[in-house]
A = this chain, B = another copy of it.
């Protein structure tokens, strides 16, 4: 398995010098692209799209046909794992994910088991199909939800403004939440190991909701199980450790802790100053982020100006992967994404040239 033609992203994750700052965007394959909407319409639904490997690979490659992005990411959803546990995932149009069954009490959590990975074959097939289609152009990122973030959806039955039930259980029945995130951690480890086997070059844990917890509860229920997952992952086929990214939205104030969890790279949302983040984590990890996705709803000169500010904040040292601070918004004009990718490459090249 040779290195990708463009390995700038993987080198940045390893904090090696790169000629320019690599860039990819969370949800880069998504509803802001007309060609994505066309493929999704063909599939019939988001879930049908995610469960059809040829179509999932097709949409994963769509943004790379438009923009010189430095990585591709598996097209899937973090909730495939609890779906495979039998919770009955579905998406109501415009309403986000819902589970038919919640996992919020001792009985439901007692019945829960890490799923048979055969039920998630369609994900690994989508990944290997995407890898083949990429033909070594750029690295391919596999991913999973963090054990805690999966628990959030499993307990609430969907998304939530404040995850009140999860937070209450964390104080009232910590034993139950411990058991739930432990099961999820085993499931996520097996799931990511299969993604490595299917050809993932790097892995990302999306901890979308860790930021709703108190500092102590975050360390216990979100960071600790992510640490377990990262420690247990299989190596890459070449024997090297797999590069990993951990992203806790709202985790800016816990960066010192997060930087010790075993990930190669820590993602930060747009509320964190990247220069301050770098001072706090030192040279321990690479950093990924962190343009406010709202910037992409303005116009190209504003996009270029704000992208340059992020590149400057990240500083001239190695170990920065440019990304948004959260997923790209459906209302994003595709030409603004072109302006962004161009600005990141241009500004970071110029900075390295001492311009």
Contact between B171 and A306, CB atoms less than 8 A apart? yes
Contact between B294 and A272, CB atoms less than 8 A apart? no
A309 at the binding interface (Cβ < 8 Å): yes
A270 at the binding interface (Cβ < 8 Å): yes
A98 to chain B, nearest CB (A): 17
The A161-195 residues at the B interface (CB cut-off 8 A) are 161, 164, 167-168, 171-172
A231 to chain B, nearest CB (A): 24
Contact between A215 and B253, CB atoms less than 8 A apart? no
Residues of B within 8 A of A211 (CB): 271
* Distance in angstroms between the alpha carbons of A93 and B214 in the assembled complex: 31
Contact between B168 and A215, CB atoms less than 8 A apart? no
Contact between B298 and A215, CB atoms less than 8 A apart? no
Contact between B294 and A271, CB atoms less than 8 A apart? no
Contact status of A215 and B167, CB under 8 A, knowing A161-B161, A298-B172: no
- Per-residue CB contact flags for chain A residues 287-311 toward chain B (1 = under 8 Å, else 0) read 0000010110111001000100100
A273 at the binding interface (Cβ < 8 Å): yes
Residues of B within 8 A of A329 (CB): 164
> Looking across the interface, which residue of chain B has its beta carbon closest to that of A298?
B172
Residues of B within 8 A of A299 (CB): 172
A216 at the binding interface (Cβ < 8 Å): yes
Chain copies in complex: 2
Contact between A292 and B167, CB atoms less than 8 A apart? yes
Contact between B215 and A171, CB atoms less than 8 A apart? no
Contact-residue bracket for chain A = 20 to 34
> Looking across the interface, which residue of chain B has its beta carbon closest to that of A172?
B298
A30 at the binding interface (Cβ < 8 Å): no
A250 at the binding interface (Cβ < 8 Å): yes
Question: What does DSSP make chain A's interface, helix, strand, loop or mixed?
Answer: helix
Contact status of A294 and B213, CB under 8 A, knowing A250-B250, A250-B271: no
A170 to chain B, nearest CB (A): 8
Select which of B171, B270, B292 is within 8 A of A302 by beta carbon.
B171
The A200-258 residues at the B interface (CB cut-off 8 A) are 211-216, 218, 250, 252-253, 255
A108 at the binding interface (Cβ < 8 Å): no
A278 to chain B, nearest CB (A): 13
A133 at the binding interface (Cβ < 8 Å): no
Residues of B within 8 A of A309 (CB): 216
Contact between B171 and A298, CB atoms less than 8 A apart? yes
Contact between B302 and A215, CB atoms less than 8 A apart? no
* Distance in angstroms between the alpha carbons of A172 and B302 in the assembled complex: 7
Residues of B within 8 A of A171 (CB): 292, 294-295, 298, 302, 306
> Looking across the interface, which residue of chain B has its beta carbon closest to that of A256?
B276
> Looking across the interface, which residue of chain B has its beta carbon closest to that of A163?
B294
A96 to chain B, nearest CB (A): 11
A2 to chain B, nearest CB (A): 39
Select which of B215, B272, B294, B297 is within 8 A of A215 by beta carbon.
B272
